[in-house]
Amino acid sequence: MNQIWLRIFMVMIGGSFAKYIFLNPFAWVGIDLAVLGISYLILRRYPFVDLRSSMAFLGGLTAVSILTDLGIISGLIGNILIVGLLAWMMFGGKGSNGSNNRPSNRHKWHK
């Protein structure tokens, strides 16, 4: 699992280096969307990864990055949103009814 996220972080770092090459903010949006697409292709290869929650997290990061790149929100607000997104994924990323969508253990030997 750590190897997968290391690959995704390397793609993100490569995307941020690519942003320094181009001066157009709309090219930055394309780079952000390309990073999201490549991350999806990496995550899709591994069946044991929760693709839905991982892509929700990466989609949120991409959305905040695009809003910051276009100047719609400031960098400070973008950082606050990213910290909030991290907190949501670590502490509150459950379903709408409060369940984790995991089956309940029917027998105690399934623990």
pLDDT at 74: 92
> What residues make up the domain containing 36?
2-93
Q: Is residue 71 part of a domain?
A: yes
pTM equals: 0.76
Q: Is residue 104 part of a domain?
A: no
Q: Is residue 58 part of a domain?
A: yes
Q: Is residue 108 part of a domain?
A: no
Higher pLDDT: 97 or 13? It is 13
Instruction: Name the DSSP class of 19.
Output: H
Degrees (nearest 5) of the Cα angle 3, 75, 28? 65
**What are all long-range contacts of 6-9, with beta carbons under 8 Å and residues at least 24 apart?**
7/42, 8/39, 8/42, 8/43, 8/58
Q: For residue 20, name the pLDDT band (cuts at 50, 70, 90).
A: very high
Angstrom distance (rounded) from CA 59 to CA 27: 18
